[in-house]
Structure 1
């Protein structure tokens, strides 16, 4: 997949590292010279300019992008960028500050695909919002443990199994289960795993690849490439990211 991220501060740059490590293409938009140098030193493609301007977004590749993450500390820049990206058919993810959470959510949530509060969610949350899809990291419990939510697909080897028939690796445990479009709850041994159902699993990173293959149906190569790359810090410094105007 191809992503454009606006803002190369700590929120944007860490999110860019996560999605790049998972094998996706990413370009950044930033106007601060220091942040541009830092991102380019990490071998990211960076377009210098105001992320709320269409010409700058086009230079960064919005016309071919699958998703745009407007992750600056400037709400106006983020919202404008999302509206432009939506015009090009991109999935749109808009960062808001914690202080503005409730009011901004009510006003803008229906106009973008997802609103994120990186001070709470960290890079994992921002990456999940951009990817969408069938795998969602929820939390890093310890250096070797992660809680993940996985959505059963048609290609999953366990599709059609009951919960009681599901055999995960020894270092993985099912914490919760939810049928498609229903709330998560305590797993019922007699329920059948079907396309769209969700499982929340506590897993060791050593067996995360195997868990992905069983529950989502990823190929071994893709599961190996993805497994373990979500283990990043879930705290962000509260600096002001400036992918657009100050």
Structure 2
């Protein structure tokens, strides 16, 4: 799944808000559904998502996000019943929309048939949720302290960096190509960014979207 996505995130707790911030930093259009008025205000103050106040387990609330335009619904609350209900409701209302469900109790195998992708952030952090939401050829390999991330990116045909060496590419300040995805060697000025090949890139949060566009077009 490539390009800018319209992602509906249900729940603005620790995991939901972190996922939303990361998606927003990469240029994706995020709609948050949250039933707690105080949390709604917190998300609005952060300017990271359009916010709909309400209970997403109610069809009338979930329909407000305009599911026909959504690419992914990621239900990230800390209540298993809510997450399961939203995933099933999304499949009923919009079968073509990808569903990503947070598993709270760790019994991932039990829920495999009820969403397209499952995450257990208590074990893997928001990184697993981001990878499940985005899929495709941009994958967060590591969440480091602060706002720095290491991302595995595959260069597409026609991307601004395709076929060029790092010496010929002007990457934004706050980003660094570390190595090819296989990790056989540290990248150097003569490392060529070949279409179809993956590379590990360290990025600061504020330039993640710009770097992604350079690699993906």
Do the structures match in fold with TM over 0.5?
yes
Does residue 203 (structure 1) correspond to residue 206 (structure 2)? The answer is no
Task: Extract unaligned runs of 5+ from structure 1.
Answer: 178-184, 188-192, 219-246
Aligned residues of 1:20 and 1:26 also touching (Cα < 8 A): yes
Match for residue 64 of structure 1 among 61, 69, 76: 69
Q: Indicate if the aligned counterparts of 2:154 and 2:216 stay in contact, CA closer than 8 A.
A: no
Aligned to 1:6: 10
Rounded Cα–Cα distance in structure 2 between residues aligned with 1:29 and 1:144: 24
Question: Relative contact order: is structure 1 or structure 2 higher (C-alpha 8 Å, sep ≥ 6)?
Answer: 1
- In our comparison, the structure showing a higher alpha carbon Rg is 1
TM-score (norm 2): 0.71
Do the aligned residues in 1 keep the contact of 2:181 with 2:200 (CA within 8 Å)? yes
Query: What CA deviation, in whole Å up to 9, does each residue of 1:124-162 have, x standing for no partner?
Result: 432332222321121144668642212243335776x7x
Alignment equivalent of 1:93, drawn from 100, 109, 118: 100
Task: Verify the 8 A CA contact 2:25 2:208 in the aligned structure 1.
Answer: no
TM-aligned CA distance change 1:22 to 1:145, over 3 Å: closer
> Distance in 2 between the 1:25 and 1:81 partners?
20
Distance 1:95 1:77 in 2: 10
* Paired residues, number: 195
What root-mean-square deviation, in Å, do the aligned CA atoms of Structure 1 and Structure 2 show? 3.3
* Of 1, 19, 23, the match for 2:23: 19
State the 1:19 CA deviation.
1.8
In the alignment, the residues of structure 1 paired with residue 209 and residue 201 of structure 2 have an alpha-carbon distance, to the nearest angstrom, of 13
Displacement over 6 Å in runs of 4+: 206-211
1:41–1:142 Cα change, 3 Å? closer
Residue 109 to residue 172, structure 1, CA distance change in 2 (3 Å):
same
Per the TM alignment, residue 91 of structure 1 is displaced from its structure 2 partner at its CA by 1.0
Q: What stretches of structure 2 of length at least 5 have no aligned partner? A: 186-193
CA contact (8 A) 2:127 2:143 kept: no
| Corresponding residue number in structure 2 for 1:128 | 131
**SS of corresponding position for 2:111:** helix
Alignment map for 1:29-108 (pairs within 5 Å): 29-43=33-47, 44-87=49-92, 88=94, 89-97=96-104, 100-101=105-106, 103=107, 105-108=108-111
Q: Does residue 151 of the first structure (1) align with residue 151 of the second (2)? A: no
CA distance in 2 between counterparts of 1:29 and 1:134 reads 27
Cα distance in 2 for residues equivalent to 1:23 and 1:209: 5
Q: How far apart, in 1, do the equivalents of 2:20 and 2:133 lie?
A: 11
